[in-house]
Each structure stands twice: as structure tokens, then as C-alpha cells.
């Protein structure tokens, strides 16, 4: 066979076999590394497990999904940075203490006495999803799956809190400036401490107390070092799933939809189980010897922090605009 005939034969053979090789080619497998600074046993941790498992199943092996919990990968701030720069594909983060580093008005999701109840809060989280994504997009994030972590109460090691005057002199931990402003307005000394350092900080006297929902307190065992829980219902806290924008956009369209749909399913699951979990955790703390009390008059607390809303509106037009949007949802 002449060289030119050999070349033609090989070309024809390659053409005929190419569909066979293409059919047998493996599809690309995408890594989806996720993390939360919260405990795996809390409702946010349970929802993350639910999300990762569902994505793994429904993607049929095309996405390899993993999750980390607590301080396995560092603080919440460090986990957010890891997502932004490419070491993670998604972080479960509070808006104000995560991407709020670049978009500080996201702190308004955790503003004292702004939301009526859990159902109202979930409506706000869902209704603001597109706006939050718009605001964080320049920082390489997409926000989806807002999750209510319950209304929060104050826990401290010194005394019950019945009225604002009882907070005088207490060093109370808050996660971002809104909480610090609230504690200062109520007469306490507000300070920041990383979530995973709270237990030791209370135990050693660096702080006197903190605040969170019952399930968050119980899942981190903070009630072991501070025995007074006062039901102030001051703030409802939330997390979103913050995905790395460039990673989501690198996925085929069907996988993008699969991931986003499952993030919303996981959020709905978490929002469903959270109310029951809050009650169960509170009951467990009472059984463990925590002294739980109602405050005498919640309006006393509301009046003390009332001027804060105008102060935050005055921070700038972006704050005023965000506050208008968040308060328009009823």
C-alpha cells in the first residue's frame, strides 16, 4: 500500500472510530467543596449534609460534593475568604459577618426587633435573594437558600436579665457591629469574639456572655459555661449559601440548575426543622440546669434600641435603600 493510501486509510479509520471513543469518554467531574462554621448537629449543619448528599445523588457522579463543619477550616471569615479565592466552592455564612465585609448593609438581616416572627423572616430572606446576589456579585459570590436560625436570646454567667438595667457592666459578645451597637445601647459592653472561641472566652472570663438561638447555644455547649438564659427575642439570625460565582458559571446549565434547586430545597428543609429544634434545645438546656427567664417588659428593650434604625439609615444611600427594601416585605 502506497504511503498516501496508508494515510487515507488511517484518516478514514480515525473518523469511523471517533464516535466510539466519544461515546466512551468520561464526563468531567466537578468538585463542590462546602463549609460552615456551625456544628454538624445543628439545623444548619443538618441542612448542609442534606444538600451535599442530594447533589451527589442527583448529579449522578458529575459533582463530587463534600462538607466541613465548625472550625475544621478556620473561622467563618476565613471560610468566606477561601470561597472567594477558590479553595471552596460554597460557604454557609451569615450575610453580615461574611460577605458583609464588602457589602456592610447586609448586616441589616440581623437588626434588633425588625422582624415579626419566623415566617416573616423567611419571607424576607426569600424575597431578598436576588438583591443579595446582585450586591455580592462583584465580589465573586451568588447567594441562594436563605435559612432562618431562630430568634436569639441572651446567655451569661453572672445573673438573669429581666430589664435593660441588668445588662450594665456585662461584657457581651456579638458577631458584627449591629450587635455591638445593640449591646452598647442596652448598657452592656459589646465586643466581638470568634464563634469557635466563645466557650473558652466565657470560661476564662474574657467575656461574660453571648447571644444566639437555643439550638445554636446547645449545639456548641455554651450553656455549660453560662447558666442564665434570658428570652429577649432581640434578633433573628440567618445564613445564605454563598457560592463562588465563577465556579457556578463554569458548570453546564443542567448542573447549575441542579445545584441551585437543591440549595433551595435544603433551605426549605432547614426552615422546617428549625422551630422544633429551637424548642427541643431549650428544653434540654432547662433539663441540664440552665435558668431560663422571660424579661419583664420587651418594650423597654425596644425603646432603648429604637434610635438605631435612623442611625443606620444615615450611614449612606446604600444603607437607606437596603433598609427600605428589607422592610417593604411583610
DSSP of 148-187, one letter per residue? EEEE-EEEESS---SSGGGGTT-EEE-SSHHHHHHHHHHT
Instruction: Give mean pLDDT in consecutive 10-residue pieces for the chain, a chain of 330 residues.
Output: 44 41 62 94 94 97 96 91 96 92 94 93 96 97 95 97 97 92 96 93 97 91 97 94 98 98 97 92 97 96 94 96 96
Residue 314's pLDDT is 96
CA distance linking residue 134 with residue 120, whole number of Å: 22
- DSSP per residue over 284-300, as a string? HHHHTT-EEEE-S-HHH
Residue 54 counted as domain residue: yes
Q: Give yes or no for a contact between 264 and 47, defined as CB atoms under 8 angstroms apart.
A: no
1 in a domain, yes or no? Answer: no
Q: What is the Cα–Cα distance from 159 to 301, expressed in whole angstroms?
A: 17
Domain assignment present for 271: yes
pLDDT of residue 12: 39
Whole-number pLDDT of residue 26: 63
C-beta separation of 128 from 326 below 8 A = yes
Measured CA to CA, the distance from residue 221 to residue 329 in angstroms comes to 35
| Grid cell for residue 252 | 453546564
Q: Say whether 161 sits in a helix, a strand or coil.
A: coil
Flag whether 15 is in a domain.
Answer: no
Q: Is the four-CA dihedral 163, 109, 223, 76 of positive or negative sign?
A: negative
User: What span, in angstroms and rounded, lies between the C-alpha atoms of 272 and 303?
Assistant: 32
d(CA 268, CA 5): 65
CB atoms within 10 A of CB 204: 9
What is the rounded distance in angstroms from the CA atom of residue 133 to the CA atom of residue 28? 27
> Which has the closest alpha carbon to 243: 268, 262, 222?
262
Q: Tell me, yes or no, whether 272 lies in a domain.
A: yes
CATH number where 88 lies: 3.40.190.170
Residue 23 covered by a domain: no
- Number of structural domains in the chain: 1
Nearest alpha carbon to residue 304 among 221, 247, 232: 232
Q: Is residue 247 part of a domain?
A: yes
8 in a structural domain:
no
**What is the pTM (predicted TM-score) of this model?**
0.81
Domain that holds residue 238: 28-327
- CA neighbor of 156 nearest in space, from 304, 283, 301, 290: 290
Half-sphere exposure of 323 (CA within 13 A, CB side): 17
Amino acid at each position: 500500500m502506497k504511503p498516501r493510501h496508508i494515510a487515507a486509510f488511517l484518516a478514514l479509520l480515525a473518523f469511523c472510530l471517533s464516535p466510539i471513543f466519544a461515546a466512551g469518554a468520561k464526563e468531567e467531574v466537578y468538585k463542590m467543596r462546602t463549609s460552615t462554621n456551625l456544628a454538624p448537629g445543628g439545623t444548619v449543619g443538618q441542612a448542609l449534609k442534606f444538600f451535599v448528599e442530594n447533589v451527589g445523588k442527583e448529579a449522578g457522579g458529575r459533582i463530587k460534593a463534600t462538607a466541613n463543619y465548625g472550625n475544621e477550616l478556620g473561622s467563618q471569615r476565613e471560610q468566606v475568604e477561601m470561597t472567594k479565592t477558590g479553595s471552596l466552592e460554597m460557604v454557609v455564612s451569615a450575610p453580615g459577618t461574611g460577605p458583609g465585609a464588602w457589602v456592610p448593609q447586609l448586616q441589616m438581616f440581623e437588626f434588633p426587633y425588625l422582624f415579626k416572627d419566623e415566617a416573616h423572616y423567611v419571607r424576607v430572606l426569600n424575597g431578598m435573594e436576588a438583591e443579595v446576589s446582585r450586591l455580592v456579585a462583584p465580589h465573586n459570590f451568588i447567594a441562594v437558600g436563605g435559612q432562618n436560625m431562630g430568634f436569639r436570646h441572651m446567655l451569661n454567667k453572672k445573673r438573669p436579665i429581666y430589664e435593660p438595667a441588668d445588662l450594665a457592666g456585662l461584657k457581651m459578645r456579638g458577631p458584627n457591629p449591629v450587635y455591638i451597637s445593640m449591646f452598647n445601647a442596652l448598657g452592656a459592653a459589646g465586643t466581638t469574639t470568634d464563634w469557635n472561641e466563645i466557650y473558652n472566652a466565657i470560661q476564662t472570663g474574657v467575656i461574660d456572655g453571648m447571644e444566639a438561638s437555643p439550638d445554636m447555644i446547645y449545639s456548641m455547649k455554651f450553656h455549660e459555661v453560662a447558666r442564665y438564659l434570658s428570652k429577649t427575642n432581640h434578633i433573628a439570625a440567618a445564613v445564605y449559601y454563598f457560592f463562588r460565582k465563577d465556579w457556578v458559571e463554569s458548570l453546564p446549565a443542567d448542573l447549575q440548575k441542579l445545584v441551585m434547586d437543591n440549595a433551595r430545597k435544603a433551605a426549605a428543609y432547614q426552615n422546617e426543622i428549625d422551630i422544633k429544634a429551637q424548642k427541643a434545645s431549650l428544653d434540654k438546656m432547662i433539663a441540664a440546669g440552665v435558668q431560663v427567664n422571660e424579661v419583664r417588659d420587651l418594650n423597654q428593650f425596644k425603646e432603648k434600641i429604637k434610635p438605631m434604625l435612623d442611625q443606620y439609615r444615615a450611614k449612606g444611600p446604600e444603607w437607606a435603600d437596603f433598609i427600605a427594601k428589607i422592610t417593604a416585605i411583610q
